[in-house]
Structure 1
Amino acid sequence: MSKIDHHLFSAHEHALDPEPCPLCGGELVIRQSKHGPFQGCSNYPTCHHIRSLTPSGHDIEKVLEGSSCPQCSQPLAIKKGRYGLFVGCTHYPVCQHIESLQESDNTQIPCPACGKGHLVSRTSRYGKQFYSCDHYPHCKYVVNDKPVPTPCPVCGWGLMVEKKVRGQLRLVCPQKKCGHQSERV
């Protein structure tokens, strides 16, 4: 049976002392937010000093060997941020290049609202898929269901969407005023 060396505990008691706030000298305490833990001043709201417990605010999951950033030629890495996983430059914050892990699916369906762009598959921050015009922010057209390049036979709108209605897959006009439904063939 091994003995515990109590001298180690008494020598390092000062290591557990709280760190002082660099702005007001108050005590820094660990706090929790919806984005994770951080250190904040105990004199809040008088002092607003906070510090992230991760230096860059993003956790590097894996460095992608053989990849290079198109802006600065540094290696790219898979990182974890507030909205999930993404690819970013390892030279952050000097280089702020980021890419989505999920490739956006260009449907080649012309946008019926502006006529200039095409509908592109995107994922919301909650993980839900939707389709929007690639000319955003000039065109803000969005549909939540999968678009089909068939014009509506009733109102003439440039596309229909696939929607499950009462257990059957149907083509539905996305215009609220029309609402035409036809059975999927």
Structure 2
Amino acid sequence: MIEAWIREFARLVVAEAPRLTELDSAIGDADHGSNLSRGLTAVVAALDEGSFDDDAALLKKVGMVLVSTVGGASGPLYGTFFLRAAGALPGGVPSAFRAGVDGVAARGKSTTGEKTMLDALVPAVEALEAGKDWGEVLAAAEAGRDATVPLVARKGRASYLGERSAGHVDPGAASAALLVAAAASTLG
């Protein structure tokens, strides 16, 4: 199931890469979709080549590949998500998601409301921890993504735009919603 989740996330990102890049062109450096697509293509290649003792080892490999292949902030942030999730996976999927989200917050020194991927991830993990079904978890992530539109970015390249960053979906929140969508369709 974990491998299916990662493969579905890669498929969604590759399919949505032009849209993610378009979102990033409005408030960033127009490379979020292409960078993440490249990294997840490398992840799929690593999955095709390797065998893993368990799902935690697979997630660790995903994290390491993303850190080494994705430029900008996305590589370290998504890499941290999967590395931390790997360590917590024995406690179950909600524990893995929480560890991943907490890792992203610590790595990015950020919290919700700052127009980042956390705006989609935190509501999703809170719904998951509350025992909601995957449809509700995905709805929480998508609502969090959409709630980034009026926000002024406080972190990352978008923060350089100040007030001009308002009025746009955060590309990191958009890709994070795809991560949750992939989980909803494969882990649910």
TM over 0.5: no
Q: State the structure with more CA Rg.
A: 1
Scaled by the length of structure 2, what TM-score is found? 0.27
More contact order relative to length (CA 8 Å, sep ≥ 6):
2
Question: Of Structure 1 and Structure 2, which has the larger fraction of its residues in helix?
Answer: 2
The structure with the greater share of residues assigned to strand is 1
